[in-house]
């Protein structure tokens, strides 16, 4: 773990300011802390959270004071970081990685007056709230583009780990593609890492060699976009716009803008309306899930379909997981006329029809 | 068979950085020095190579800068372990931590920037041969140089006088010193050579494999190179076989998944490590092989008066 020295300095300066009330006339600012898995320059997941933190600071002005700690592994180290941040007087703490779930449970019990927010988890508490992007909407739209642009009718997906929140993405990409092109097949490859450019590159090369000409990803580096650029196929970015790595290859991608959520939650803490035990899922409508810029080479007809589907997702007319949905063994998972309940996403472990292979058990 | 061509090509690209790093470390360890800092030197090489190639527009400058950066970092290690006689294991680990941090710091502003990939060279006539041309003559220059490096290291360690001196120093620095061999100078040169190859291995990642810079992009390859040296029983040929084997099985498991093989992916991910260990264990069935091949003074500090 690397605690940036200026954060420590800033924290101690704040402590000093609190210790000398005569020096400050304004009400004591709310201290908000962010805990990041990666470095703030990772060009993806963590950077997006930090961009939102800066927007939060700009929006709230002197009413709050933010701190962040980067490169915090999902181990016992994180427990120490949470404990220290809570002890330092932070009243609202955002834990921005799934793996902080258990350490957070422990620390939250010790600091009942500190409010914790945990991304993508599934364990809430009186002072823990879970928040999560509706990525299925973004991946559905990726599928809509992939389904229209593929020539081989074979799509690929580079998965990190076969966990419910990632299986959801390959499922929704496939459903989106099938909505515009019933012939598509999907080949997923699991690399069992969030981040290993070399391995992601090999996985992309493999998928392309096996005929997949539009490859989605749930790993963090732009390696698959570079591979597609060289081979003349298509790829999609994740978390950030990665088109600088492949202008022709990147069709679009999913990014996140967390600032709306962070501002809303911080305001709730300030006006006292914050409550625990909530599980919030925000998507395109709320502006948390944002699509990366569309590739100008996409034909206007395909863009039109994309925009229509997007508008319907925002209005709620279209649900990516609306029935009937069969898994790839032919068993009906969602009945016609129904839709998958939100709670099911945290235990999703089957492939929709059209995906090759079986979910690694 | 045609389907195998891209798989083999990817294998070669995956194995090349391991070959550079592992061959360099073989020479270092043969001189009796254990440098666990490969991962750090690779990352420094990756960021230096990337920055230099971007600034100059030339990949050769990139690789040269990477080698120089690797050497610079290895000199710190050399000074600490050879002059100040610090513990080699601890110093090597510190070097890795230092390299990881320093490369992230230096590369802060380089993240997210593209660089042209080093082009594969086509050899007139040879590259056009069906199948064989694709299989053997369609790589970038660094792949061919890695083969040359293997031949060079093998010749150096087995045939050249200096190489034999280096091995003698690795076995028994005291004796070598007594008969007037320059122990410290030889070890310094070996450590610098290891630094240069590790730097080049890093630049291969940031200029060829995935032409970009991202923090921690070596993702543990330095440690794998280190393990290959041990499992290759300090013999260049076995080290190279191990690297290709590792790269090949890594590639195979991705292909197997793409074909929808019903095997747990966790098992497949484990396969490269398991297969490499199994094969190399078979190569040296006799438990004495590792002990006999291991340089006797590996990891021990040497002081002329002791």
Q: Does domain A5-133 have CATH number 1.10.357.10?
A: no
Query: If residue B146 lies in a helix (H) or strand (E), which one and from where to where?
Result: helix B141-158
Of B10, B210, B251, the CB nearest to A223: B210
Residue A23's pLDDT is 41
DSSP notation for B179-247: TT--HHHHHHHHHHHHHHHHHHHHHHIIIIIS-B--TTTTTTHHHHHHHHHHHTTT-HHHHHHHHHHHH
Residue A77's pLDDT is 87
Residue of B nearest to A229 (CA): B117
Per-residue pLDDT of chain A (361 residues; tens, 9 = 90+): 444 555 544 555 554 444 444 444 456 899 999 999 888 877 788 999 999 999 999 999 999 999 999 989 888 889 999 999 999 999 999 999 988 999 999 999 999 999 999 998 888 999 999 999 999 999 999 999 999 999 999 999 999 888 888 999 999 999 999 999 999 999 999 988 887 888 899 899 999 999 999 999 998 888 899 999 999 999 999 998 888 889 999 999 999 999 999 999 999 999 999 999 999 999 999 999 999 999 999 999 999 999 999 999 999 999 999 989 999 889 999 988 888 888 888 888 899 999 998 887 6
* Cβ contacts of B257 on chain A, cutoff 8 Å: 188-190, 206, 357
As a dihedral over the C-alpha atoms of residue B238, residue B244, residue B245, residue B249, rounded to 10 degrees, the angle is 170
Residue A267's pLDDT is 95
For β-strands A30-35 and A64-69, DSSP reports them as parallel
The verdict on B112 touching A (C-beta cutoff 8 Å) is: yes
Q: Domain residue spans in chain A? A: 5-133, 135-256+290-347
* Rounded-to-integer distance, Cα B47 and Cα B32, Å: 29
Which alpha helices (DSSP H) does A38-134 contain, by range?
45-60, 76-87, 101-110
* Rounded-to-integer distance, Cα B205 and Cα B189, Å: 25
* Cβ contacts of B211 on chain A, cutoff 8 Å: 226
A158 and A220 Cβ atoms separated by less than 8 Å: no
Give the burial class of B172: count Cβ atoms within 10 A of its Cβ; 0-12 exposed, 13-18 middle, 19 or more buried: middle
Q: Which of A2, A157, A190 to mutate to test the interface with B (most CBs of B within 10 A)?
A: A190
Tell me what ipTM this predicted complex has.
0.73
Length of chain B: 306
B196 and B67 Cβ atoms separated by less than 8 Å: yes
* Cβ contacts of B261 on chain A, cutoff 8 Å: 357
- A187 vs chain B: nearest CA distance in angstroms? 6
* Rounded-to-integer distance, Cα B136 and Cα B126, Å: 9
* Rounded-to-integer distance, Cα B247 and Cα B276, Å: 10
CATH class held by domain B4-293: mainly alpha
**Which residues of A sit within 8 Å Cβ distance of B?**
2, 38-39, 41-43, 156, 162, 187-193, 195-203, 205-207, 209-210, 212, 221-223, 226, 230, 240, 244-245, 356-358, 360-361
pLDDT single digits (tens) A83-131? 999 999 999 999 999 889 999 999 999 999 999 999 988 889 999 999 9
**Smallest Cα–Cα separation from B38: which of B107, B98, B111, B108?**
B98
Residue of A nearest to B5 (CA): A209
Cβ–Cβ gap B219/A357 under 8 Å: no
Q: Domain residue spans in chain B? A: 4-293
Residue A10's pLDDT is 53
CATH architecture of A135-256+290-347: 3-Layer(aba) Sandwich (3.40)
Helix, strand counts (H, E) of chain A? 10, 14
* Rounded-to-integer distance, Cα A355 and Cα B68, Å: 48
- B187 vs chain A: nearest CA distance in angstroms? 32
B15 and B244 Cβ atoms separated by less than 8 Å: yes
Cβ–Cβ gap A226/B117 under 8 Å: yes
Of B250, B255, B265, the CB nearest to A162: B265
For β-strands A325-326 and A332-334, DSSP reports them as antiparallel
Length of chain A: 361
Q: How far is CA A337 from CA A321, A331, A351, B209, in A?
A: 11, 16, 20, 48
Q: If phi over 0 gives left and psi between -120 and 50 gives alpha, with beta otherwise, what is residue A229?
A: alpha
Residue B94's pLDDT is 95
Which residues of chain B have a pLDDT value below 70? 1-3, 280, 283-284, 289-290, 305-306
For β-strands A279-282 and A115-119, DSSP reports them as unpaired
Q: Rounded to the nearest 5°, which phi and psi values hold at A357?
A: 85, -170
Cβ–Cβ gap A42/B255 under 8 Å: no
Domains A5-133 and A135-256+290-347 share a fold: yes
Cβ–Cβ gap B258/A206 under 8 Å: yes
A224 and A217 Cβ atoms separated by less than 8 Å: yes
Residues 6+ apart with CB under 8 A from B152: none
């Amino acid at each position: 773990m690397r605690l940036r020295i200026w954060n420590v300095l800033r924290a101690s300066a704040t402590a000093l300011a609190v210790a000398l009330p005569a020096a400050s006339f304004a009400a004591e600012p709310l201290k908000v802390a962010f805990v990041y898995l990666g470095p703030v320059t990772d060009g993806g997941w963590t950077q997006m959270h930090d961009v939102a933190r800066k927007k939060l600071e700009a929006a709230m002005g002197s009413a709050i004071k933010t701190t962040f700690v980067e490169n915090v592994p999902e181990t016992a180290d994180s427990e120490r970081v949470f404990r220290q941040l809570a002890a330092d007087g932070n009243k609202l703490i955002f834990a921005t990685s799934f793996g902080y779930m258990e350490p957070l449970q422990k620390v939250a019990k010790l600091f009942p007056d500190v409010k914790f927010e945990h991304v993508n988890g599934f364990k809430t508490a009186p002072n823990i709230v879970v928040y999560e992007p509706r990525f299925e909407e973004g991946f559905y739209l990726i599928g809509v583009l992939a389904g229209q642009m593929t020539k081989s009718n074979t799509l690929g997906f580079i998965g990190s780990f076969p966990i419910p929140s990632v299986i959801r993405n390959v499922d929704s990409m496939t459903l989106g593609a099938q909505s515009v092109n019933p012939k598509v097949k999907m080949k997923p490859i699991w690399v069992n890492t969030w981040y290993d450019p070399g391995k992601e590159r090999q996985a992309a090369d493999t998928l392309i060699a096996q005929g997949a000409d539009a490859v989605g990803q749930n790993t963090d580096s732009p390696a698959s976009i570079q591979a597609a650029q060289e081979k003349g196929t298509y790829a999609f970015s994740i978390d950030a716009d990665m088109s600088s790595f492949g202008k022709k290859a990147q069709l679009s991608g999913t990014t996140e803008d967390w600032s709306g959520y962070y501002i809303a939650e911080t305001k709730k803490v300030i006006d006292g309306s914050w409550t625990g035990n909530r599980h919030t899922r925000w998507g395109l409508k709320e502006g948390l899930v944002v699509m990366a810029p569309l590739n100008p080479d996409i034909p206007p007809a395909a863009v039109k379909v994309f925009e229509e589907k997007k508008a319907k997702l925002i209005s709620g007319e279209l649900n990516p997981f609306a029935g009937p949905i069969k898994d790839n063994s032919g068993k009906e998972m969602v009945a016609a006329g129904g839709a998958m309940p939100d709670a099911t996403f945290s235990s999703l472990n089957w492939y929709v029809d059209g995906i090759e292979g079986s979910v690694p058990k | 068979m045609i389907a195998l061509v891209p798989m083999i090509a990817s294998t070669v690209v995956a194995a090349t950085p391991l070959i550079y790093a592992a061959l360099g470390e073989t020479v270092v360890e043969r001189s009796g020095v254990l440098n666990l800092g490969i991962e750090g030197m690779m990352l420094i090489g990756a960021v230096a190579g990337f920055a230099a190639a971007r600034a100059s527009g030339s990949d050769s400058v990139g690789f040269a800068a990477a080698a120089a950066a690797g050497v610079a970092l290895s000199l710190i290690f050399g000074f600490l372990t050879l002059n100040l006689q610090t513990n080699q294991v601890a110093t090597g680990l510190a070097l890795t931590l230092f390299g990881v941090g320093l490369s992230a710091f230096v590369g802060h502003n380089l993240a997210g920037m593209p660089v042209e990939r080093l082009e594969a060279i086509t050899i007139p006539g040879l590259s056009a041969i069906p199948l064989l041309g694709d299989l053997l003559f369609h790589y970038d220059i660094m792949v061919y140089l890695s083969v040359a490096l293997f031949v060079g290291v093998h010749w150096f360690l087995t045939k050249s006088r200096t190489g034999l001196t280096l091995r003698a120093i690795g076995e028994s620095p005291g004796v070598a010193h007594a008969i007037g061999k320059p122990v410290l100078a030889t070890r310094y040169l070996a450590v610098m050579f290891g630094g240069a190859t590790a730097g080049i291995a890093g630049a291969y990642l940031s200029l060829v494999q995935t032409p970009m810079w991202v923090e921690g992009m070596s993702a543990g390859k330095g440690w794998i190179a280190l393990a290959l040296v041990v499992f290759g029983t300090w013999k260049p040929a076995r080290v190279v076989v191990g690297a290709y084997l590792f790269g090949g099985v890594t590639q195979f498991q991705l292909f197997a998944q793409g074909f929808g093989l019903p095997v747990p992916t966790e098992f497949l991910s484990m396969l490269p490590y398991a297969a490499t260990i199994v094969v190399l264990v078979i190569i040296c069935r006799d438990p004495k092989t590792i002990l006999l091949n291991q340089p006797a003074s590996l990891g021990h500090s040497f002081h002329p008066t002791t």
